[in-house]
Amino acid sequence: MYDMKALYQAESVQDAVALRLKHPEAQIIAGGSDVLVQMREGKRAGAELISVYGLDALRGVSLEADGTLRIGSLTSFSHITRDPLIQKYVNVLGEAVDQVGGPQIRNIGTIGGNTCNGVTSADSASTLFAYDATVELTGQDGVRRVPIQEFYIRAGKVDIRAGELQTAILISRESYEHTFGHYIKYAMRSAMDIATLGTSVNVRLSDDKKYVERARVAFGVAGPIPLRAETAEKTAAGARLSAELAEAFGAAVREDIHPRDSWRAARDFRMHIAVESAKRAFAEAVRLAGGEL
Amino acid sequence: MEKHLTQYQTVCFNLNGKDVERTVDVRASLTDLLRNDFRQTSVKKGCEVGECGACNVLIDGEAFNSCIYLAVWAEGKKVRTLEGLLGPNGELSDIQQAFVDESAIQCGFCSPGFILTAVEILESGKAYTDEELRKLLSGHLCRCTGYENILRAVKKTMYRRLGRELPQE
Ligand SMILES: Cc1cc2nc3c(=O)[nH]c(=O)nc-3n(C[C@H](O)[C@H](O)[C@H](O)COP(=O)(O)OP(=O)(O)OC[C@H]3O[C@@H](n4cnc5c(N)ncnc54)[C@H](O)[C@@H]3O)c2cc1C
Ligand code: FES
Ligand code: FES
C-alpha cells in the first residue's frame, strides 16, 4: 500500500483543472515513476494525489497546421521513440528518451513527468532545450505557453501555477526543420542509471553542406537546471566545417556551463566530459546532416 | 476528505484472458492486487521502487513494473502474468522451457519478470541482435545467473519462433 491520503482520478483535462483548484495541496501523478518511488521512500508520505494517467487525450504526437510538432504530455518514452513523426523530424529526442532507465521505465515514464519534475538530469530535457521547445499548460483561464528555458525556475521547481497541468510540449517547424541531432548520455552504467552529464547537439547545414547555418547545444547536469551553451553556438554559426571547428565548439562550452561537485562526479571531470561530449555530439550531428569535418 | 478515510474503487480488467472485477483500496499497487486478490504469486516483490523488474507484468502487451503502477490504473486493461503462459494442464510454454534448458534459473526470483519481458520481445516477431536483446532485457536484475544463460534462452526461443537456425557462436 502506498501511504497516500487520497487519490482523485481526473476524467478529462477540465476535470483535472477543477481537481487542482479544489485540492491545492494535492500533487499530480502521471506515470508515477518519480512520485510513487518518492512516496515509497517516505518523502511524500500522506500526500493527496490527482491522477492524470487516464487522460488518453494527452497521449501521442501530432503535427499542427503550421507544422508545429505537438507531443502530448502523457506520451511515454517508448511511444516517443517509436513515433514516426519524432523519427522524421527530431529523431534525437527519440534516441535520448530511449536511454532512460530500462524498458519498463520507458513504458511508464512520461515526457510531462520528466519535465515537470524540474530535474537537471532528465534525459529529455537537454534535447528540448536544444530545440527551444515550448511548454503548454492548461488551467482555469485556458492555455498558457511558456518557453522551456523559462519553464524551469530552479532545481526541482518549474512554472506551474495553481489549477494548471502540463498538456503538451511543442517544437516549432522553424526550430526542427532541416536539423540533425545527437544526444550523449554519460553515465556509469549503460542501463538503469541517471546521467552524470547529458549533451544534446543539433545542427542545420548550408545547402552545399560546407557551412554550419545553425548549431545548438544544451546540457543536463551542467548546472542546477538544463542550460544552453550559447558561446559554442555562436562559434559554429556560419562557420565552415572543419575538424578545428568541432574542437573550438567543444572548448567554447566552458564559457557557459557551471557543473558542480557531487557524489556522482567531480566538477573538473564534468567539465572535461562536457567539452568532449559537445565535440563528439557536434561531429555526429554534422555527419548525420551529410557534412564532413 | 478526512485524514484516514479509506477509499475503495471497483476495477474491471482482463487477467490472462479472463474478465475480472475487484474492489480495491486506491492505495494498492498492481503487485498488491495481483498477489493478494488473485494469488498471482509469480509477481514478486523485490525492490518495490521500479529498479529490479521482479514484479514485471504485461499490460496491453507492454512490460510494466507493477510495484510502481496503481491497481486502479488496471481499469479496462489486459494484464498478463506468468501464470497466463501455462498450458491447460500446467504445461510450460516454450520460453519457460528454454529457461529450464539453459539453466537460466537458479533461485527463480527474477525469472517471471524476465520471462514476461521475453514474451514482449518474442511477440514483436522481430529478430534482434545480441546487443539489442541485452538492452531490451536490461530492466531486470538477477543476483544468481550472471545473465548469459538468460540471454541464450531468449535468443534460442527467438530463433526457434522465427523458424531460423541459431547462428554458430
Ligand atoms: C528505476 C528508475 C530509473 C529511472 N531512470 C531515469 C533516467 O535514466 N533518466 C531520467 O530522465 N529519468 C529516470 N527516472 C525518473 C522518471 O522515470 C522520469 O523522470 C519520468 O519521466 C517521470 O515521468 P512520470 O510520468 O512517471 O512522472 P510522475 O512521477 O507521475 O511525476 C513526476 C513529477 O511531475 C509532475 N507531473 C507529471 N505530469 C505532470 C503534468 N502533466 N502536469 C503537471 N505536473 C506533472 C508530478 O507532480 C511530479 O512532480 C527513473 C525512474 C526510476 C524509477
Ligand atoms: S519489485 Fe518492482 S521493480 Fe523491483
Ligand atoms: S535466478 Fe536468482 S535472482 Fe535471478
Over the stretch A168-218, which tens digit does the pLDDT of each residue have?
999 999 999 999 999 999 998 888 888 999 999 999 999 999 999 999 999
Interface check for A45 against chain B (CB to CB < 8 A): the answer is no
Q: Which ligand is nearest to the CA of B143?
A: 3
Q: Which residue has the cell 571531470?
A: A269
Task: Kindly provide the ipTM of the predicted complex, given to two decimals.
Answer: 0.96
CATH topology of domain B94-161: DNA polymerase; domain 1 (1.10.150)
Chain A interface mutation, best of B43, B45, B68, highest count of A Cβ atoms under 10 Å = B68
Q: Which ligand is nearest to the CA of A30?
A: 1
Q: What digits encode the pLDDT tens for the residues B94-127?
A: 999 999 999 999 999 999 999 999 999 999 999 9
Cβ contacts below 8 Å, chain A against chain B, sum to: 88
Query: Residue B24's pLDDT is what?
Result: 97
Residue A190 is classified by DSSP as: S
Query: Residue B5's pLDDT is what?
Result: 66
CB contact at 8 A, B41 and B35: yes
Instruction: Give the span between the Cα atoms of B121 and B83, in whole angstroms.
Output: 18
Confidence label for A82 from pLDDT (cuts 50, 70 and 90): very high
CB contact at 8 A, A282 and A214: no
Confidence label for B3 from pLDDT (cuts 50, 70 and 90): low
Least confident of A8-12, A194-198, B13-17, B150-154: A194-198
Interface check for B18 against chain A (CB to CB < 8 A): the answer is no
The CATH number, out of the four listed (1.10.645.10, 3.40.50.10440, 3.30.465.10, 3.30.360.10), of the domain defined by the range A59-174? 3.30.465.10
Class of domain A4-51: alpha beta
Instruction: Give the span between the Cα atoms of B156 and A221, in whole angstroms.
Output: 41
* Cα distance from N-terminal residue to C-terminal residue, chain B: 63
Query: Residue B98's pLDDT is what?
Result: 98
Interface check for A37 against chain B (CB to CB < 8 A): the answer is yes
CATH 3.60.10.10 given to domain B8-81? no
Residue whose CA lies nearest to ligand 2 atom number 3: B50
Best residue among A13, A39, A73, A105 to mutate for probing ligand 1's pocket (most ligand atoms within 8 Å of CB) is: A105
Best residue among B144, B150, B151 to mutate for probing ligand 3's pocket (most ligand atoms within 8 Å of CB) is: B144
Atom of ligand 2 nearest to the CA of B46: 1
Residue A211 is classified by DSSP as: B
From the CA of B134, how many Å to the nearest CA of chain A? Answer: 10
Torsion angle, alpha carbons of A247, A250, A255, A260, to 10: -140
Sorted by where each begins, the domain ranges of chain A are: 4-51, 59-174, 180-288
Query: Residue B112's pLDDT is what?
Result: 98
To the nearest whole percent, how much of chain B has pLDDT over 90?
93
Least confident of A260-269, B51-60, B146-155: A260-269
Residue B53 phi/psi, 5° resolution? 80, 5
What is the Cβ-side half-sphere exposure of residue B115, based on CA atoms within 13 angstroms? 26
Residue B91 phi/psi, 5° resolution? -65, 145
**Is any atom of ligand 2 closer than 6 Å to the C-beta of B53?**
yes
Q: Closest partner residue to A108 among B1, B26, B64, by Cβ?
A: B64
Q: In what order do the strands lie in the sheet with A61-63?
A: A61-63, A69-72, A165-171, A134-139, A142-147
Instruction: Give the span between the Cα atoms of A76 and A171, in whole angstroms.
Output: 17
Q: A180-288 in CATH: which number?
A: 3.30.390.50
Query: Residue A259's pLDDT is what?
Result: 85
Single-letter residue type at A112: G
Q: Closest partner residue to A32 among B1, B62, B70, by Cβ?
A: B70
Sorted by where each begins, the domain ranges of chain B are: 8-81, 94-161
Tell me the mean pLDDT in the region B64-75.
98
Query: Residue B1's pLDDT is what?
Result: 45
Residue A51 has pLDDT above 60, yes or no: yes
Query: Residue A198's pLDDT is what?
Result: 97
Average pLDDT, chain A: 96
CB contact at 8 A, A116 and A28: yes
Residue A263 has pLDDT above 90, yes or no: no
Residue A178 phi/psi, 5° resolution? 55, 30
Query: What is the Å distance from ligand 3's center to B114 Cα?
Result: 10
Query: Residue A109's pLDDT is what?
Result: 98
Q: What digits encode the pLDDT tens for the residues B159-168?
A: 999 999 988 7
**Angle, alpha carbons B52-B57-B59 (nearest 5°):** 130
Query: What is the Å distance from ligand 3's center to A34 Cα?
Result: 26
